[in-house]
Amino acid sequence: MTPPLPLFTGLSAFPLTPADVDGHVDTDALQRLVQRIVGSGARSIGLLGSTGTYMYLSRAERRRATEAAIEAVGGRLPVIVGVGALRTDEAVAHACDAAAAGADALLLAPVSYTPLTQEEAFQHYQAVAGATDLPLCIYNNPSTTHFSFSQDLVGRLAALPTIQAVKMPLPGNGDFSGEIARLRRIVSPDFAIGYSGDWGAAEALLAGADAFYSVAGGLFPRAMAALTSAAMAGDESRAARLDTMFSPLWDLFKAYGSLRVMYTAANLMGLSSALPPRPLLPLGSEINAKVEAAIAPLREA
């Protein structure tokens, strides 16, 4: 286990989980990806997030991925493992598997088919948070889960002893400062507020977010760590320059989805030969050229 550090601060880099179309994880490729993040300036690795295709993998494959990644990291960075599942008992099982494998923290999204009520989500989180003693981060990702956390629910969850952070989507109105201020009023001073949605990284961190959970950080950890560091230091001009370097990639994320783009980028960089899990399809050759152009400056960063 990694010595105690501020777990939910700075850059959390989220790598792909390379696998074949049937969901069998390529643990060698995964280990290469996480080893690239170590020493990059990232503060943690976010394993089995949405980019890590956690919902497309069986329990056994998730466990294999977790064990392989933690082995490769060797305690040099905290590993935060996604444990979301449709049923509470399954999410509890994933949490216990992650703890047994040596994870440092958990990330939980309110995955659902039948839309959850606020109380159902609370009880779901309460059960998973109580299954281990690991710190847990709330994964607020309404574009994927179709569940929106009320401010009251975030406050209730933040009062549970092991829930120590929230991963927020980019605010629709762009008011990071206002949203962070509202959240600060309902959580304890040491509760960490972070964001995801890579094109909003600079703005979120300049507004005072504690952390950024980054898709691009999974393949370009040094460049993304530099952007994060500049923004957290309040260096607007440097953060803007680095954000501009990423802009072509952000445009592709918005057009085609970050998951598909990152599979293409990883393969173009020779880091993986994985394909997105079916029914997702890889991008066509005409898009590959755009990805190659977008990542060219980032490879050298």
d(CA 118, CA 153): 7
Q: Does residue 1 surpass a pLDDT of 50?
A: no
**Average pLDDT of the residues in 209-234:** 98
- Report pLDDT digits (tens) over 106-152: 999 999 999 999 999 999 999 999 999 999 999 999 999 999 999 99
Question: What residue type is 103 in one-letter code?
Answer: A
Q: Who contacts 262 (Cβ-Cβ below 8 Å, separation ≥6)?
A: 16, 51, 215, 216, 218, 219
Q: Report in angstroms the alpha-carbon separations of 20 from 26, 55, 82, 146, 186.
A: 8, 14, 20, 27, 43
Output the six-digit token pair for 217.
Answer: 């950080």
Q: Does residue 276 surpass a pLDDT of 60?
A: yes
Residue 248: what pLDDT? 98
Residue 3: what pLDDT? 42
As to burial, measured by CB atoms within 10 angstroms (0-12 exposed, 13-18 middle, 19+ buried), residue 300 is exposed
- Helix-helix angle 258-268:236-256, to 10 degrees: 100
Q: Does residue 264 surpass a pLDDT of 70?
A: yes
Catalytic residues: 139, 167
Residue 301: what pLDDT? 58
- Report pLDDT digits (tens) over 4-39: 457 999 999 999 999 998 899 999 999 999 999 999
**What is the percentage of the chain residues whose pLDDT exceeds 90?**
96
Confirm if 69 and 37 have CB atoms less than 8 A apart.
Answer: no
Binding residues for pyruvate: 51
Residue 239: what pLDDT? 98
Q: What's this model's pTM, rounded to 2 decimal places?
A: 0.96
Angle at 108 between CA 134 and CA 177, to 5 degrees: 100
Q: Does residue 292 surpass a pLDDT of 90?
A: yes
Question: What residue type is 54 in one-letter code?
Answer: Y
Query: Please, what's the b/e burial string for 124-151 (b: 16 or more CB within 10 A of its CB; e: otherwise)?
Result: bbeebbebbebbbbbbbbeeebebebee
Residue 2: what pLDDT? 43
Binding residues: 51
Residue 5: what pLDDT? 54
Confirm if 216 and 202 have CB atoms less than 8 A apart.
Answer: no
Per-residue three-class SS string for 138-152: EECCHHHHCCCCCHH
Beta bridge partners of 202: none
Torsion of CA 232, 243, 17, 29, to 10 degrees: -100
Is the CA virtual torsion 263, 205, 242, 255 positive or negative?
positive
Q: Are strands 10-13 and 44-47 parallel, antiparallel or unpaired?
A: parallel
Domains of the chain as residue ranges with CATH: 10-234 (3.20.20.70)
d(CA 121, CA 125): 6
- Report pLDDT digits (tens) over 41-86: 999 999 999 999 999 999 999 999 999 999 999 999 999 999 999 9
Determine if the peptide bond prior to 279 is cis (ω within 30°).
yes
Torsion of CA 263, 228, 43, 50, to 10 degrees: -30
